[in-house]
Amino acid sequence: MIIRNPRHSVRKTPEKPSGFRAEQLMEEHMRGKRLDTTHIPLINRALTHDASNVRARGIDALMKVTDPQKSEKLVWMLEDPDWFVKVKASEALGTMKEKAALPALIGLLKNTNCYVRSAAADALGEIGSGKAIPALERIAILGERPELNAEKKEKGFVIRSARLALKKLDAPEYHCMMGMTAEDRAEMIEFGHGP
């Protein structure tokens, strides 16, 4: 005869975390379910969720709906502490060609994460504003952040993103040499990017 503990015979359903509906929405989105403006409150919850993967999927979902505050939300997401969320927001802003995001994206070119810098450079190229040219040229010429020069792998693809962005902007790569100090020119030559 098997004696069962009465406590084990009754199974309780574990409580759902506060963002469960937002996570469920993101799962539906990933399965291809059509999203509309009725989902905006859930998308907003996803954008403020504790889990960074839910916030990143929230950005994907936000891009699928018509929201009058979409660009403001995406610019706000550029300040997220998670690097992947910043990358997704940068990509989305580049796709939208959102000129209001220029100052924030130019600021991301100084971020410590190489993927964030690369995504920001790509987005600036997609947006197509000449205001980004000096910052992109500095990366293309000087090899981005001088204090990270030891990390050659990072340096290469961030520089490549900046150069591709400059090409999209039809900017000559060495256009900013006129505004550089003598120290900047010497550093540029030292890294093999000049005459």
12 assigned to some structural domain: no
Residues 6+ apart with CB under 8 A from 146: 187
Closest C-alpha among 63, 59, 64 to residue 33: 64
d(CA 141, CA 187): 9
- 13 within domain boundaries: no
Looking at the structure, tell me whether residues 37 and 110 fall in a common domain. Answer: no
- Rounded percentage of the chain residues whose pLDDT exceeds 90: 31
Range of the domain at 159: 83-195
Q: Indicate if 131 and 167 belong to the same structural domain.
A: yes
Q: Is residue 75 part of a domain?
A: no
Measured over the CA atoms of residue 147, residue 150, residue 152 and residue 154, the dihedral's sign is negative
102 shares its domain with 183: yes
Q: Is residue 148 part of a domain?
A: yes
Q: With beta carbons less than 8 A apart as the criterion, state whether 171 and 129 touch.
A: no
Indicate whether 47 and 87 sit together in one domain: no
Q: How many domains does the structure of the chain reveal?
A: 2
- Look up tokens 């300040």; give the residue: 79
SS3 of 94-134: HHHCCHHHHHHHHHHCCCCCHHHHHHHHHHHHHHCCHHHHH
131 and 156 together in one domain: yes
Q: Is 10 within a domain? A: no
User: Rounded to an integer, what distance in angstroms lies between the CA atom of residue 53 and that of residue 85?
Assistant: 8
Report the amino acid identity of residue 36: D
For residue 164, being part of any structural domain is answered with: yes
Q: Are residues 32 and 123 in the same domain?
A: no
Q: Which domain CATH number covers 137?
A: 1.25.10
Same domain, 103 and 180: yes
For the full predicted model, state whether its pTM sits above 0.75: no
pLDDT at 80: 95
Task: Please write the tens of the pLDDT for every residue from 13-56.
Answer: 344 444 556 566 666 655 666 777 888 888 888 899 999 998 99
Q: What is the pLDDT of residues 146-178, one digit of tens each?
A: 555 454 444 578 888 888 888 888 776 544 444
Residues 151, 183, single domain; the answer is yes
Residue 58 and residue 115 share a domain: no
45 & 129 share domain: no
Q: Give me the mean pLDDT over the 79-108 stretch.
A: 95
Same domain for 110 and 147, yes or no, is yes
Closest CA to 114 of 141, 71, 60, 152: 152
- What is the rounded CA–CA span in Å between residue 98 and residue 101? 6
Bigger pLDDT: 174 vs 120: 120
